[in-house]
Structure 1
Amino acid sequence: MTWIKLLLSLGTSFAVCLLLIPEIIKIANSRNIHDIPNERKIHTGKICSFGGVGIFFGFIISTLIWSFVDMTLNMEFLLGAVLVMVVVGMRDDFLPLSAFWKLVGQFVAIAVLLIGDIRIFSLYGFLGIYELHFIFSYLITGFIVIVITNAFNLIDGIDGLAGSVALIVFSFFGLWFALEGSFALSAMCLAVLGSVGGFLYYNYSPARIFMGDTGSLMLGFLATGLLILFLDKNAALPVTSHLHIVAPLSLLSALMVYPLFDTIRVFMLRVLAGRSPLSPDRNHIHHLLLDIGCGHYYIVGIVIFLNILFVIIFTFIGQMGYLSDNWLVPIIVLTASSLAIYLHRKVKRRREVVNV
């Protein structure tokens, strides 16, 4: 019966989002509320950017029907924190917020998480660090939440990209939590998957709707909350369990490699250029791939392929016990850096050819 409920959670959210988004598009068109093109944006026409509203309603309706009764206290706090992020995202989509007020909203959501005791308790031996003092626990949790939440927001730059990355992340968490026995958490993940799937039907190129900050902030924040719960539950499993991840930090680094690496890389480039890390530009990896002539489908395909490849390779190495997080996390960073350097050089050569 439990597995049937998981499938119903997936199907309910998919159906709600699939049916709701056309209505959202109609309302946006009737009110002439659109994402207006500019020099940084890829699209050329006026497109509705309230797809995140459909994702949220599909997710929350399915969650309330199929997993709310079975929720633990920390899940209720996670859901409350997600609601805070949705409010922030909706406000920004309808009436743009400054970076300062968006950050304030994120701190409020983080506070809800910490009140629910959803935090990083340990680094699990990474750099020789295990249990964290509660002050460092709060600081590291807040930092990770802000980085991953905004990373999802920043990769939402071309049709289908952020949603497709979300499918990988929530598919992993949904499967792992189901096998571990946390069916309410798994149902929540599948509710996200269904909603994102319904949204992507309208978002793949040429997009008829964007997810906006409502969707990207919600997905990034929820992914981080589930990541923290995953680390806690994984640490509680006996090391002999087939579900126990030996090198959890490297697995999560591989799982989040595209949003994390692209965001950190862009911030570093901006700082090295003497600009604010929050200043807009066209240095994201999807921008570089567009500059060398790649289409939206190709870019999404190559990012998803490499993301899945990272997860498979580094999970296998970690589970075999060949290397620990202390080695695997730097290797992931170096591998991603090498790919980025190769891409930069290819873009530079392409631009030189065009200028000639």
Structure 2
Amino acid sequence: MREPMIIMAMAVSFFVTVILSPLVIPFLRRLKFGQSIREEGPKSHQKKSGTPTMGGIMILAAIAVTTVWVAPHFTPVSTGTYLLLFVTIGYGALGLLDDLIKVVMKRNLGLTSRQKFIGQLVIAAVFFAVYRQSGFSTALHIPGTDRSVELGVAYGVLLLFMLVGSSNAVNLTDGLDGLLAGTAAIAFGAYAVLAWNQGQYDIAVFCVAVVGAVLGFLVFNAHPAKVFMGDTGSLALGGAIAAVAALTKLELLLVVIGGVFVIETLSVIIQVASFKMTGKRVFRMSPLHHHYELVGWSEWRIVVTFWTVGLLFAMLGIYIEVWM
């Protein structure tokens, strides 16, 4: 029976994060690795300045340990699992470099947009090269049907777009205490169900390892947060969920299951486009969660609302693929 491995993977990942956090957080504080808050952000966020960041290293450690240690005891580990770890750690390392520059320079800007984009692109390109050489399908599955469209080399372009776009979208969502940790747990939980339904048990284990890690992190990241995951965590999670979508051949469902990330990104695009074309802003501030802050919603109310919306999107994604 493979069911116990799901519970064990989630539990191991959760406890690794929970055990590491009381050790790592004081260490980050001693190193003065505190978050710098941008001046143009909501005024209420200024009190968060100095809160330890780069907590994503605990998430990465929990995912890696759980996937490498637990999965082989229950199911053969495929090339797909190692690809997932490569993307997760690769994007996490890129985020760690970004965070280090921020804390060393004592400002809210780390890598330039160009530098970050090149790094994301290189990792995505390596992923696709190994993906194709390993014989994975380059067909695009149509959710809720048995149909697929063969893309060939063009699938590489889709993968690059997915990995870069998803990592940035998830990064934008990381703006309130517990917001990303909760929405990521829900989204990866949905993909765990779908991977399990396909019989891709090693990918399901990876997904629940992520769920356990971010829930363990949420113990310390819930409002008022004692630590932030930083780009170390957010870029890693964004790249990982796009890679999971590719390996489960549920690429298009990423737009549904990651609906909260899509909405947050669209709010930024709409805001920038509107201001450039008309000189007016659609939202009081973007991404969207900041708009609701300035409207007067409490931080906890915004986070719970977004979690609920994320859960509805996840359920819709599962329904489309499994029951339609």
Name the TM-score, length of structure 2 as normaliser.
0.84
**1:30-109 correspondence to structure 2 within 5 Å:** 30-39=30-39, 40=41, 42-45=45-48, 46-68=50-72, 70-95=76-101, 96-109=110-123
Q: Provide the rounded CA distance (Å) in 1 between the counterparts of 2:115 and 2:137.
A: 23
Question: Which of residues 290, 293, 296 is equivalent to 1:293?
Answer: 296
Kept in 1, the 8 Å contact 2:242–2:254? The answer is no
1:135 and 2:135 matched:
no
Determine the C-alpha separation between the residues in 2 that align with 1:110 and 1:68.
26
Correspondence for 1:284 = 287
Aligned-pair distance for 1:313? 5.1
Aligned residues of 2:128 and 2:156 also touching (Cα < 8 A) = yes
Structure 1 contact 119–141 (Cα < 8 Å) conserved? no
How far apart are residue 77 of structure 1 and its match? 2.3
Amino acid across the alignment from 2:200: S
Q: Match of 2:285, SS? A: coil
Query: Residue 316 of structure 1: CA displacement?
Result: 4.8
Q: Distance in 1 between matches of 2:130 and 2:215?
A: 30
Unpaired segments ≥5 residues, structure 2: 102-109, 278-283
Question: Which residue among 188, 205, 208 is the counterpart of 2:226?
Answer: 208
How far apart are residue 192 of structure 1 and its match?
0.7
Kindly state the Cα deviation for residue 140 of structure 1 after the two structures are TM-superposed.
Answer: 1.5
Letter in 1 for 2:238: G
Secondary structure of residue in 2 paired with 1:209: coil
Displacement after TM superposition at 1:18 (Å): 0.5
Alignment of 1:331-346 (within 5 A): none
CA distance change for structure 1 residues 214 and 60 in 2, over 3 Å: closer, same or farther? same
Report SS of the residue matched to 1:274: helix
> SS state of the match for residue 122, structure 1?
strand
Report the counterpart of residue 13 of structure 1 in structure 2: 13
**Deviation at 1:219?**
0.6
- CA, structure 1 residues 318+31, in 2 after alignment: closer, same or farther (shift >3 Å)? closer
Matched residue, 2:238? 220
> Aligned-residue CA RMSD in angstroms?
2.5
Please report how far the alpha carbon of residue 201 of structure 1 lies from its aligned counterpart in structure 2 after TM superposition: 0.4
Kindly provide the CA deviation profile for residues 101-126 of structure 1, in whole angstroms up to 9, marking residues without a partner as x: 11111112112221222675225399
Contact conserved, 2:54 with 2:232, CA < 8 A, in 1? Answer: yes
Instruction: Report the counterpart of residue 178 of structure 2 in structure 1.
Output: 160
Equivalents in 2 of 1:224, 1:79: separation in Å?
A: 12
Q: Which residue does 2:129 correspond to in 1? A: 115
Shift of 1:265: 2.9
**Residue 212 of structure 2 aligns to which amino acid in structure 1?**
G
Instruction: Name 1:274's counterpart in structure 2.
Output: 276
The alpha-carbon distance between structure 1 residues 304 and 36, as it changes in their structure 2 partners (threshold 3 A), is same
TM-score (norm 1): 0.77
Aligned partner letter, 1:260? V
**1:303-352: CA deviation from partner (whole Å, max 9, x where unpaired):** 1222323444576578775xxxxxxxxxxxxxxxxxxxxxxxxxxxxxxx
Aligned residue in 2 for 1:177? 195
Q: Identity over aligned residues, as a percent? A: 24
Does the aligned pair in 2 maintain the 1:160–1:200 contact within 8 Å? Answer: yes
Could you tell me whether the CA contact under 8 Å between 1:81 and 1:112 is conserved in 2? Answer: no
> What is the aligned length?
298
Secondary structure (helix, strand or coil) at the match of 1:116 reads helix
Contact 2:9 2:70 in 1 (8 A): yes
Closer/same/farther in 2, CA of residues 125 and 208 from structure 1, 3 Å limit:
closer
Alignment partners' CA distance in 2, 1:57 and 1:315: 28
Label 1:320 to 1:211 Cα distance change in 2 as closer, same or farther (>3 A).
closer
Higher relative contact order (CA 8 A, sep 6+): 2
Name the CA shift for 1:8/1:312 in 2 (closer, same or farther; >3 Å): closer
Displacement of 1:175 in angstroms is: 2.0
Displacement of 1:43:
4.5
